[in-house]
Amino acid sequence: MRLIDRAAQTNRWRHMPTAEKLAVSLCGLAVAALSPSPGVKGAVFLLMGGLVMAGARVRPADYLRALAVPAGFIATGVAAQAVTLSLSGGPVLALAGPEAMARALSFAATGFASVSALLFLALTTPLTRLVEWLEDRGLNPHLADVALVMFRMIWLTLDCLESGERALKGRLGHRSFRGILTSHGLLLAALLPRVLARARRLETGLAARGYQGRLVFLSGEAPARSARVWLTLAAFAGLFLAGHLA
């Protein structure tokens, strides 16, 4: 999560209009889900990865690390569909038939293309910008504040967890298996009180700065250009039609 937020805050396209990046992500997701062509889905995956790494200048290592977890889930699903278990005459594990293999490969292509479309938005758009864009279009301000506060609480939890983990390593808490269980049990027991204490300090800091129920952020984002949004829609529509005509 820290990696995704760091990439979203530091990439070259962080000040691009959120609506344009959202259009690219949703169009890629729609084409990946609706197109029957594996080639089109592969093109979406490559296009989204290229935009993130070559366009937004997110480091390839960071992109691959962000992709690793969903790729593991996709690989698990593909493996479950690509093998068959027979219990007659003893358990026998073998590869599934051609139809099941085709479905597994189609599932993999759809999954990787869809994940790449979502990662494009996550790695190029800070959460505050996305929530601000939704709020400008009718999202309840209280829901927006709850979302941002929960995001901050997750950061506080991760920060307390990482500082506690560093302290355990410094005190040789990982020297033995029993020590690992004991030290991590104590860490988890102390985690909630520490997070609540940090949250209380955050609340006090907001009150000292005149917080009255609204979290306001500065934005250097340019307005969206309708021409670029329509160009995005046309490009993905052409890609979708190319898959049907091929």
In this prediction the pTM is: 0.77
Q: Give the pLDDT confidence score for residue 113 in this predicted structure.
A: 93
Q: Give the pLDDT confidence score for residue 6 in this predicted structure.
A: 83
Q: Give the pLDDT confidence score for residue 215 in this predicted structure.
A: 63
CA 103, CA 123: separation in Å to the nearest integer?
30
Per DSSP (E only), the strands in the chain are 83-86, 92-95
CA 16, CA 25: separation in Å to the nearest integer?
14
Q: Give the pLDDT confidence score for residue 157 in this predicted structure.
A: 79
pLDDT at 116 over 80: yes
CA atoms within a 13 Å half-sphere pointing along the CA-CB vector of 222: 10
> Quick one: average pLDDT of 107-125?
92
Which residues, at least 6 apart from 140, have a Cβ–Cβ distance to it below 8 Å? Answer: none
Least confident range of 8-12, 52-56, 155-159, 233-237 = 155-159
Among residues 19, 8, 13, 10, the alpha carbon closest in space to that of 223 is found at: 19
What does DSSP say about strands 83-86 and 92-95: parallel, antiparallel, or unpaired? antiparallel
